[in-house]
Each structure stands twice: as C-alpha cells, then as structure tokens.
Chains A and B, each alone.
Chain A
C-alpha cells in the first residue's frame, strides 16, 4: 500500500488501471472524498463528476506515484480550497484510523511480551502521538483558517496574522524523525520473540503512515504554501 508506481498520471487514463498499478491512490481518492467504485471512468470523467480540477487531481496523483509537481498549471483559489479540504481529510485518517491502529498493535505487543522495553516503546509512541495531535490541531486551528481567510479576502487586511511556513516545516521534520526512530528501534534493536504476524502488521501500518505523511508535507510545501504566497502577491499588486 505504500509503494509508488512510476506511471505518470495523465487525464485520459482509466482510474481503475491507475489504482491497479499503485493502490496507494485509494488513499488519495478517500482524501478527495471519491468513492472507490470508479467504474470505467477516466481521470477527466472522475474529476468532472466530483467537481475537482483536472490540474489539481493529476498533480496530487503524480505525487502519490512518485513524481514532482513541476510544470503544472498554476492553481486557482478553488483548487486551494480543495487542497485544504484534502489535508483535513488526511488529518482525520491519521487521528482516527492510523494512529489508533498502531497504538492498538503496540498495546497488544506489550500484552503478549513481558520485556519492559515494550512498556517504554508504548510510552514513546504516546508522547509522539501527543505531539502529532498538537501539530494537527495547529494546522486545523491556525494554518488552515489563515489560508481560508486568505482565499476569501480580496484585500490584504488580514495579513496581520502571521503565518510561518518555517514553523510549519519544523513541526513536520520532527514528526518524521520520531517515526524514523520507532522503525529503527523495531528493526534494529528491540528484541521481541516471534509474534511475526502482529509485528508485520505494525510495520506495515508504520510504513503506510510514513508514506501518507510524506505526501502530506509535499502537498503543503509544493502546492499550498507557494500558491498562498502567489495569492498574497496578487493582492499586494
């Protein structure tokens, strides 16, 4: 689920074929609020049905497939509103799907094994999870509302509110770093006897989370922030 495919997505391609080549795109559909039963529709048809611009959909799909967003058409305000919606949906996925899943695996591991390191591992994960929630809250309560105000305003009165994209990316790197630590601890150091099914499920969940977090920050850094700066400039002109 966390692999990328080196197929460059183009508007006339069939969505079902694209999913077949890279199942991670299902996650993208879900973040766009698109049903998985895509029938025989092409990317263009799907975009029309759900009212998403082809430009935006293709750009994000290509991020999932391992390509950069270079050379896309500029995104308009409607696209950016969609992007924010997309990012909010992915927050929901972290909060109510991925983290509880990982958390329950770690708890189960602790029940099955007496090693005390596992208790510490659980503590580690909880501290980490708390930080992640803080970051998601920050985006939901500070960063996204700022962007929405920016999108809806025609003058520059709102710009007093300072939005720091640097603060933004610092948060991100910290989140990725701790996740890396967790994987390294499990892959290299913490000894656990057997229980391979559970441990594999845990690894897969961690890699799925890592992959979506990675795309999430790519979307913010290559689409949301540059386009936000573009709108600010336009307003100043």
Chain B
C-alpha cells in the first residue's frame, strides 16, 4: 500500500523543485571560483516593510532599482505585488530571483485554487517558497547561499486571519507582526520599533499607518544608498484588507510624504 500511496502523493503534491537534482560538476572548484567573483558582485539595495494595522496589513516599499553601488536602473519600480486575491509579496535582492519567485507563486496559487476550489493559505505559500529556496541551496547551487532574495509575504487566510512572513533566500521563515527587509532594514525597523506598541496592538488607522510607513522609508532613504529618497520617488504603499488588495494612489501618498517632510508626523 505504502509504495502506491507514495507514488500517487508524489504525482499529486510533488515537493517543490527548481529542476533536476544537481550532479556532475566539481563543487570545490566552483566554490572557490564563485567566492572570488562574489566579492566583486554588486548587491542591490531596497527597503520593503510590512506591518499589521487596524484593517489588515500595510506594505510599503521604495522605488529604486540599483545595479551595484553606483548605478541606478530605475526610480519607478513597484516592488510589492499581488500574487493572489488576498496576498501580497515584497522582495529585496536580485531582481531576476524575485521575478522568478513571484511567477512561480502566481502559478502555484492558480493551479491550487483551480484544482481544489480553496485558495492557498498565506502560510502555505510561504512554506512553498521556503521549500523552493532550500531545494535551490541543497541541490541546484550547493556551493552558494541559495537565491539572493529576501521577501515579505502577507495576506489574509480563508479563516479571516492576517499573517505576515519574512523569508530569506537560504530558506528561513519567520512569522512577524511587523518587519522590514533590504539594505535599509535597520533604519526602517528603527521607526517601526518606535511604534511597536501600536503595531502589536494593531490599532493604527489607515492615515496613521501610512505616516509610519512613509517615515520608515524616509529614514532608510536618508542613510542607505540602495533606497530611494522620498523627495525623489514617492514610495509605493499597498494594503491587504478583508475586501482584497488595494494600492494607495500616489497623490494620497504624496500628501503623507509632505507631512513627513514638514515634520508634522
């Protein structure tokens, strides 16, 4: 019974894998070569944050895509995306890796929902990404640290609970009430921690939450070269509520940016 049951399980719920198991190439040589290159590899910077508020979850991100330490690719990038009807993902790190993950997540959400008539839970999606990252690290790219990304996944479950998960490229997963990722993490987290009581109690309204989010991105932008300055690029803000995902209009974010710059909040 066991063999047949396992075979059917593997066909219905295959464990996530990126491709066939790695074999053949010399790990040690590659490792030495890759480490050398890695020192010279430019790292991309970003600040993405998420926290729970009165009506759900708020996501905010800067707009800069940088290539290495000196080059700015774009000041108009939207780094937070809706991957399912009540789920948002925000990524920091290599653009290619984050686009790849978003694509896989959208596909998985679609096929699970279509097949079983229930949406995937936020935790389910987070676990799926984590399994994928671990698989990448263990089998596909064993000489390196795995996918070069950090991600925040947040959303509402079928039961109506709001959940936020922080995921890192090597495959770790944390459940959080508020979090920030990217090169501006420390500065953004500083602002979030100043408001820790309200964030844990989830009693901020939309305007108050937007002020906290913009202030966090502002602080990060001031000190981190990988994060855009809010005076140059208006941050993108999205909320996940019981009605779904909504991106806040730029004009409305701009009003909050002005208040923050004038020191009103």
State whether these chains interact: no
